[in-house]
Amino acid sequence: MGVPKLNGKVTARAISLKTAAGTKAHSLPQNTYKIAISDTSKVQNFHLSGPGVNRKTKVAATARVTWTVTFTPGTYVYRSDKSKKLRGSFTVTPVPPPATS
C-alpha cells in the first residue's frame, strides 16, 4: 500500500491540508505520512505543529518540499506564522491493535 500522502498549500490568502483524494484533512488514523507542501507566498508560510511535530517553511521565500511525518494521536494545527486568519487543524486517532485469534 505504501505511505499515505497529504498535500499542504499556502498562498497569500489561503492555507489548506488535503488528503490524496482531495478532501480536507479532518481526522486521520495514526500513521507515517508523506506531506507535499506547496508554499507559493513570499509573505506567508506553512507551519505544522502537534504532538512530536514542528515543521515549517520560511516566511520570506516560496518552497516546494516533502516532509515525512509520523502522527500520533492528538490534535495538529497548520497555520501561517504571519496571519492569524490562515489556520486549520485536524485530529489523529489511534489505530486499534490487530485482532488476535
Q: How many whole angstroms separate alpha carbon 22 and alpha carbon 35?
A: 13
Global confidence as pTM: 0.92
Q: 93 - beta bridge partners? A: 29
Contact in structure between 70 and 28 (CB atoms under 8 Å): no
Secondary structure class of 28 (helix, strand, coil): strand
The secondary structure of residue 14, as a DSSP letter, is -
Domains in the chain with CATH codes: 5-93 (2.60.40.420)
Q: 33 - beta bridge partners? A: 69
Tell me the pLDDT tens digit for each residue of 29-65: 999 999 999 999 999 999 999 999 999 999 989 999 9
Tell me the pLDDT tens digit for each residue of 70-89: 999 999 999 999 999 999 99
The secondary structure of residue 76, as a DSSP letter, is E
Torsion angle of C-alpha atoms 92, 50, 83, 89, degrees rounded to 10 = 10
